[in-house]
Amino acid sequence: MRKQVPLLLTFCAGMIPIIALFVPERHVSTVSTTLDSWLIIVAGFALLLGVVNVIQMNTNKIRRKSSGWPYAIVLLAGLAIMGTFGFAGAFDVFGGIATRPDGSSTPFDWLYQNAFLPLQGTMFALLAFFMASASYRAFRARNVEATILLIAALIVMFGRIPFGEMVTKWFPITTEWIMARPNMAAQRGIMIGAGLGAASMALRVIVGIERSYLGLGKGE
């Protein structure tokens, strides 16, 4: 029973969207859309579970003085402050969570604009440095393949900047050719393979052969 019920539910939940793709009957589409709504509701409850887990984990970390415990204090403080202003804003205390009608920021919005967004931007900006270090490692001409990669990368980089076009018009032309022909062909090959793999995986899940994601061990 512990195995059969989840597998039956998986089968139904997997088959309904497939049927809805081919059968435009009103009841089928209603069931399919309702399932999507249920997913959002379930995700909402799961998020609550996640928040409880964050509080438990970090409280324990502070109590045990585990490695990096001061960060746990910052995290819990951030959660408490943003959570308080968010909840209060939802009940229209402090003027809501977005900007007020006069254009001034509510506390939640102010924190979002002045703390959260800059931090998020900082993380994203790090990508440029990581990309440089990864490129340095990848573009070392150690063998024939790496040399081809290096040459292709240099052409594409020069073709994408005004300086490259200034040197010769062939840089942007060759860049376009590399991106539209060999690069696109390789990408589509991977995408077709991945698409078939995903469909095969979905089929295994729907018919109950693949059940390791349920924690039910190997397939049968």
Partner 1 sequence: MPVSSRYRVFSLPLAAILLAIIPFLVFSARVDGQPPPEQAGAAGTPGAALAPESTAVQPPAVEALTAADTPGDEGGSVTVKWTEPAGAADLGLTYKVMRADSPEGQYTEVCELAAGESEYMDAGLTDGRQYCYKVLSVVGPGIAESAPTLPASPRGNWFRMFRLNALVLLIVFSGSVLFYIARARRGKPIYIRKIAGLNAVDEAVGRATEMGKKILYIPGIMSIDEIQTIASLAILGHVARLSAQYNADLEVPNKDPLTFASARETVREAYLEAGRPDLFREEMVNYVTYDQFAYTASVTGKMVREKPATNFLIGSFYAESLLLAETGQSVGAIQISGTAEVAQLPFFVVACDYTLIGEELYAASAYLSREPVLLGSIKGQDLTKLLLMLALGLGVILESFGVAFVKDAFRMQ
Residues near partner 1 (CB under 8 A) are: 18, 21-26, 29, 39, 42-43, 46-51, 53-54, 57, 60, 67-68, 71, 119-120, 123-124, 126-127, 130-131, 133-135, 137-138, 187, 190-194, 196-205, 207, 209-210, 212-220
Q: Which of 5/162 has CB closer to partner 1?
A: 5
What is the closest distance, in whole angstroms, from the C-beta atom of residue 166 to partner 1 in the complex? 28
Minimal distance in Å, beta carbon 44 to partner 1?
Answer: 9
CB of 85 to partner 1, least distance (A): 16
Measured at the alpha carbon of residue 200, what is the angle toward residues 199 and 205, in degrees to the nearest 5?
95
Nearer Cβ to partner 1, position 101 or 122?
122
Pick the closer one to partner 1 by CB: 141 or 203: 203
Please state, as a whole number, how many other Cβ atoms lie within 10 Å of the Cβ of residue 85.
20
> What is the distance between the alpha carbons of residues 202 and 10, in angstroms, rounded to a whole number?
10
- Our CB check for partner 1 shows the closer of 159 and 210 to be 210
Q: How far is CA 204 from CA 6, 14, 15, 213, in A?
A: 14, 11, 12, 11
d(CA 210, CA 216): 9
108 contacts 91 by C-beta, under 8 angstroms: no
Nearer to partner 1, 20 or 165 (CB): 20
Q: How far is the CB of 206 from partner 1 (least distance, A)?
A: 10
Nearest approach in angstroms of CB 168 to partner 1 is 26
Amino acid identity for residue 102 in this structure: D
| Torsion sign, CA atoms 101, 104, 106, 108 | positive
